């Protein structure tokens, strides 16, 4: 086998098998340099084309892929579900979904004893925090702002942003999240921005990069000296996002606070045709009728996703619905950190189907199975409580299928990508997950949707395709050097703790 030889960390490197890897040990300088560009180049090397023992499906460009004999949940009501069917993929797109597809020239992925479904879609995650996983398992929202934003965030370098985004993206893919909105408010300088975008693009995940403000030690992001927020979005549109037909697309992450600070972000977004995402209705801070004020400035449109919405008033809810907005519920963090009750029933009652999100990996598991189970159980608890309290006309219980739709097609809608992803529909991009049913948490399989929503976890995610590219196969991420990945994470974490002057006991 011919191995393209790596000539240096700054070069394009396509092979990281032991034969091609540079012989010298990786130095801190090489892996995590002080300049964003060099650190990014080094970090990019973690994913390369590895020499697998067997050819990886999809390795031959242009050759169709056939996912064969799976239990297919298309989530497209016109297509339906199949106890056993095939999915044909051509040029990264879904070409057909039906039983017994004949495609003699296709590479076959055997999906017997697998559930084949659309990948999960996360509509709000602060991915720069991917190196701060679990730092605040017991923290409130105020603790989070003090520790994660003002202490760590203010001290982030572009290298740290790269590492955080990269870990978060790979973790998403590993757990079956194929599309993720990076709610990115770490833009202390434009170099931080470039690092975040590079990490998303290097990871191979389908991402929506939502450009947000800086972090500072006092929370006054608008005074951050190096920040170019929000106007730098014009450069980003030109430099990175000139096409909508690419794997990473652009949003504006608008700050919360006074409407006069928010409106310039809305304008800058719309000037470049970027959709908007904003946190609203969060705890006591969320009771300021902000959406009424923004509406008075004629700023609410269908291009905006509203996150949390726990403490909005009824007028604000109607404004979201009437202007065609989408919402993102992060049920786990909302119950954990004091945002208020996840407004699942409220959204359903007013006629809005929510999307789901992880939010912060500092306190929340990174997988979507936990998110689905959180909203499912909370909605049922609320209905049961009402029944027990004598309510003669309680709402209907959510079903597992509805929750799976929240995690897929509703996410695609909120991320502005429902024409491309979210269901297994011919013509859409092939963002597909294969979930093992021959695992002890679900076998023997009796109810596919029930298995996914109530019992499965990341350990069931066998195969992940994004735009037809195989990102995970046989339970392993494709082409990831875990030794190097671990060093990238450890070094970034240690440097960040040192610069933030925080002692890390690891316990
Ligand atoms: Zn958030």
* CA 476 to centroid of ligand 1, rounded, Å: 29
Q: What is the mean pLDDT of residues 83-89?
A: 98
**Rounded CA separation 430/385 (Å):** 41
Kindly indicate the confidence band of residue 244, based on its pLDDT and cuts at 50, 70 and 90: confident
Q: 383 CA distance to ligand 1 centroid (A)?
A: 27
How sure is the predictor about 128, in pLDDT bands with cuts at 50, 70 and 90? very high
**Residue 61: per-residue pLDDT:** 76
Instruction: Report the separation in Å between the CA atom of 243 and the middle of ligand 1, taken as the mean of its atom positions.
Output: 27
CA of 215 to the centre of ligand 1 (A): 14
Distance 486 CA to ligand 1 centre (A): 26
Q: Ligand 1 mean position to 329 CA, how many Å?
A: 10
The mean per-residue pLDDT over the stretch 311-332 comes to 98
280 Cα to the center of ligand 1, angstroms: 10
Euclidean distance between CA atoms 320 and 165, whole angstroms: 30
Average pLDDT over residues 413-437: 98
CA–centroid distance, residue 336 to ligand 1 (Å): 13
Taking a C-beta distance cutoff of 8 angstroms, is the pair 117, 452 a contact? yes
Whole-number Å distance between alpha carbons of 403 and 268: 34
The whole-number pLDDT of residue 38 equals 40
Q: Judge whether residue 45 has pLDDT over 90.
A: no
Q: Is the pLDDT of residue 12 over 60?
A: no
Q: Dump the DSSP string for 352-379.
A: -PPEE--B-TTTS-S-HHHHHHHHHHHH
Stretch (H or E) spanning 37? helix 36-44
Name beta bridge partners: 209: 182, 250
Per DSSP bridges, beta strands 114-118 and 275-280 are: unpaired
Q: What predicted TM-score, i.e. pTM, was given to this entire model?
A: 0.90
What digits encode the pLDDT tens for the residues 259-275? Answer: 999 999 999 999 999 99
Q: 419 C-alpha vs ligand 1 centroid, how far in Å?
A: 25
Residue whose C-alpha is closest to residue 231's, from 186, 200, 291, 190: 190
Ligand 1 centroid from CA 183, angstroms = 7
Q: pLDDT band for 507, please (50, 70, 90 cuts).
A: confident
- Segment 212-221 mean pLDDT: 97
Q: Is the pLDDT of residue 167 over 60?
A: yes
pLDDT, averaged across the chain: 90
Distance (angstroms) between ligand 1 centre and the Cα of 490 equals 25
CA 125 / ligand 1 centre spacing (Å): 6
Residue 122 has what pLDDT? 98
pLDDT at res. 57: 75
CA of 286 to the centre of ligand 1 (A): 13
Q: Ligand 1 centroid vs 451 CA: distance in angstroms?
A: 29
**How far, in Å, is the centroid of ligand 1 from the Cα of 267?**
21
Number of H helices, E strands in the chain: 16, 17
User: Residue 506: what pLDDT?
Assistant: 84
State yes or no: pLDDT of 430 exceeds 90.
yes
Q: Output the CA 250–ligand 1 centroid distance in Å.
A: 17
Beta strand segments in 388-499, E: 432-436, 461-466, 469-473, 476-477
Element (H, E) at 489: helix 482-500
Task: State mean pLDDT over 30-44.
Answer: 37
Quote the pLDDT of residue 55.
62
What is the 186 CA–ligand 1 centroid distance (Å)?
12
Query: What is the reported pLDDT for 44?
Result: 43
What's the pLDDT score for residue 49?
38
pLDDT of 357 reads 98
496 has pLDDT over 60? yes
How far is residue 333's CA from residue 136's CA, in Å, rounded to a whole number?
11
Query: Tell me, what's the pLDDT at 17?
Result: 33
At 60 the pLDDT is 75
440-448: average pLDDT: 97
- For residue 282, report the distance from its CA to the centre of ligand 1, in Å: 10
**pLDDT computed for residue 54 by the predictor:** 54
User: Quick one: average pLDDT of 164-193?
Assistant: 98
Cα separation, 404 vs 396, in Å, equals 17
| Rg from Cα positions in the chain | 22
Mean pLDDT to the nearest integer, 266-290:
97
Q: Quick check: 170 pLDDT over 70?
A: yes
Q: How far is the CA of 89 from the centre of ligand 1 (A)?
A: 35
Average pLDDT value for residue range 319-338: 97
């Amino acid at each position: 086998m011919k191995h393209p030889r790596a000539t240096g960390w700054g070069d394009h490197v396509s092979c990281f098998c032991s034969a091609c890897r540079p012989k010298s040990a990786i130095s801190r300088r090489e892996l995590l340099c002080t300049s964003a560009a060099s650190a990014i180049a080094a970090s990019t090397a973690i994913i390369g084309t590895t020499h697998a023992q067997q050819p990886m499906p999809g390795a031959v460009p242009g050759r169709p892929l056939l996912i064969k004999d799976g239990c297919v949940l298309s989530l497209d009501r016109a297509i339906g579900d199949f106890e056993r069917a095939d999915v044909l993929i051509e040029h990264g797109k879904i070409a057909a979904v039906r039983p017994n597809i004949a495609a003699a020239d296709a590479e076959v992925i055997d999906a017997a004893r697998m559930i084949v479904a659309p990948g999960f879609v996360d509509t709000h995650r602060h991915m720069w925090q991917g190196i701060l996983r679990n730092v605040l398992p017991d923290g409130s929202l105020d603790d989070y702002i003090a520790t994660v934003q003002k202490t760590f965030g203010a001290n982030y370098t572009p290298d740290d942003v790269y590492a955080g985004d990269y870990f978060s993206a790979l973790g998403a893919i590993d757990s079956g999240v194929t599309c993720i909105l990076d709610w990115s408010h770490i833009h202390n300088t434009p170099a931080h921005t470039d690092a975040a975008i590079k990490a998303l693009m290097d990871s191979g995940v389908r991402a929506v990069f939502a450009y947000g403000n800086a972090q500072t030690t006092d929370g006054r992001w608008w005074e951050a000296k190096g920040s170019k927020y929000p106007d730098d979005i014009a450069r980003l549109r030109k430099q990175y996002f000139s096409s909508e037909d690419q794997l990473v697309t652009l949003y504006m992450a608008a700050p919360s606070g006074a409407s006069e600070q928010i409106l310039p972000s809305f304008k800058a977004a719309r000037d470049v045709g970027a959709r908007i995402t904003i946190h609203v209705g969060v705890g006591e801070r969320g009771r300021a009728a902000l959406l009424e004020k923004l509406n008075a400035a004629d700023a609410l449109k269908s291009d905006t996703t509203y996150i949390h919405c726990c403490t909005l008033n009824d007028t604000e809810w109607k404004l979201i619905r009437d202007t065609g907005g989408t919402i993102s519920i992060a049920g786990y963090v909302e119950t954990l950190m004091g945002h208020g009750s996840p407004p699942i029933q409220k959204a359903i009652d007013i006629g809005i189907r929510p999307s789901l999100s992880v939010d912060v990996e500092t306190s929340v598991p990174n997988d979507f199975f936990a998110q689905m189970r959180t909203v499912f159980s909370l909605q049922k608890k609320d209905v049961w409580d009402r029944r027990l309290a004598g309510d003669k006309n309680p709402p209907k219980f959510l079903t597992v299928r509805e929750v799976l739709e929240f995690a897929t097609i509703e996410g695609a809608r909120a991320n502005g990508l429902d024409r491309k992803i979210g269901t297994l529909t011919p013509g859409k991009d092939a963002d597909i997950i294969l979930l093992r049913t021959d695992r002890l948490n679900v076998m023997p399989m009796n109810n596919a949707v029930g298995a996914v929503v109530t019992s499965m976890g990341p350990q069931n995610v066998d195969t992940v395709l994004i735009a037809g590219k195989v990102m995970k196969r046989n339970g392993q991420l494709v082409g990831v050097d875990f030794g190097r990945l671990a060093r990238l994470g450890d070094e970034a974490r240690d440097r960040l703790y040192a610069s933030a002057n925080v002692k890390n006991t690891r316990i």
